[in-house]
A = this chain, B = another copy of it.
């Protein structure tokens, strides 16, 4: 049998051995398991950014993938750890809202609290539950283990409110939720809200600038043009063709964006 796939998403950064420690634990428990880094440069303790990035991988990974995500400002306190089953995949993470983007618009099949001491590493540190509790739980699921061994079944998990934009009579008010390497500004306004209206029926406002209508891709306008488009994950995105919109607009996570009918 092919050993499974486990992805990793953390705010551990690229320095140090924290990410490798997770991988060592996983490899020790599931020899040959395939591990894929999603992202380790989530801003420290930024659950919203982590939740957005994690949501971006659900539609491309194979069924049965286990996603381990550790953005855990409450480590060592009484926050819960959970395993969530959705989209034929598992998500193992703290119950602090990190699952919000993944769960958006998807049927959640089951939620389990990771509470049993059985699977934990022999010594559990107070500051690194990712290594000592979550990684062994992910390994258990990757081996096809029964989720009931993790702990009790739950019917609830925490969702972050600012994952959703607001609607008003003229359209939508949202915010930038992620700035990518190119300086593209991805918002929390999902294309599914725009319905059947034509791309040119909308006007987009951000940081005092107005953009008339959506384009299909960056190259549809000359270099240097400020454009709005629906990005590759389905979210409204502000960009500059061959340029850096974040720098040009002095905008980033949290900047307000309006999408209005003209």
CB pair B61 A219 closer than 8 Å: no
Assess whether A218 is in contact with B20, with CB atoms less than 8 Å apart.
no
* Apart from A17-B233, A20-B60, A25-B60: 18 A-B pairs, beta carbons within 8 A: A2-B31, A14-B14, A14-B39, A15-B41, A15-B180, A17-B39, A17-B56, A18-B56, A18-B180, A20-B36, A21-B60, A24-B36, A44-B183, A45-B242, A75-B219, A76-B218, A77-B220, A131-B232
Task: Collect the chain B residues with CB atoms within 8 Å of residue A65's CB.
Answer: 24
Residue of B nearest to A15 (CB): B41
In angstroms, Cα B20 to Cα A217, docked, is 21
Q: For residue A60, which residues in chain B have a CB less than 8 angstroms away from its CB?
A: 20-21, 24-25, 28, 131
In the complex, per-residue mask of A203-242: 1 if CB is within 8 Å of any chain B CB, else 0: 0000000000000111110000000010111000000001
Per-residue CB contact flags for chain A residues 22-57 toward chain B (1 = under 8 Å, else 0) read 011101100110111111111011000000011011
A91 to chain B minimum Cβ distance, whole angstroms, is 14
Contact of A127 with B62 in the complex, beta carbons under 8 Å? no
A74 at the interface (CB under 8 A from B): yes
A172 interfacial contact with B, CB 8 Å: no
Say how far A231's CB is from chain B's closest CB, in angstroms. 6
**In the complex, are the beta carbons of B28 and A62 less than 8 A apart?**
yes
Chain A facing B: main interface SS: loop
Q: Which residues of B contact A7 (CB under 8 A)?
A: 20
- Verify A127–B76 contact, CB threshold 8 A: no
Q: A74 to B219, Cβ gap below 8 A?
A: yes
Contacts of A42 in B (CB 8 A): 15
Residues B39 and A76 in contact, CB atoms below 8 Å apart: no
* A180 touches which of B5, B13, B54, B217 (Cβ 8 Å): B13
Chain B residue nearest to A223 in the complex (CB):
B73
Q: Does A16 contact B (CB under 8 A)?
A: yes
Q: Which residues of B contact A27 (CB under 8 A)?
A: 5, 34, 36, 61-62
Taking CB atoms, residues of chain B closer than 8 Å to A217 are 75-77, 126-127
Report A14 CB to chain B, min CB distance, Å: 5
Decide: B2 and A20 in contact? CB cutoff 8 A.
no
Distance to closest chain B CB from A25 (angstroms): 5
Please judge, given known A-B contacts A17-B38, A20-B36, whether A73 and B242 are in contact too, CB under 8 Å.
yes
Measured between beta carbons, the chain B residues less than 8 angstroms from A45 are 182, 242
- A24, B180: Cβ atoms closer than 8 Å: no
A4 to chain B, nearest CB (A): 10
Shortest Cβ distance from residue A177 to the other chain B in the assembled complex, whole angstroms: 11
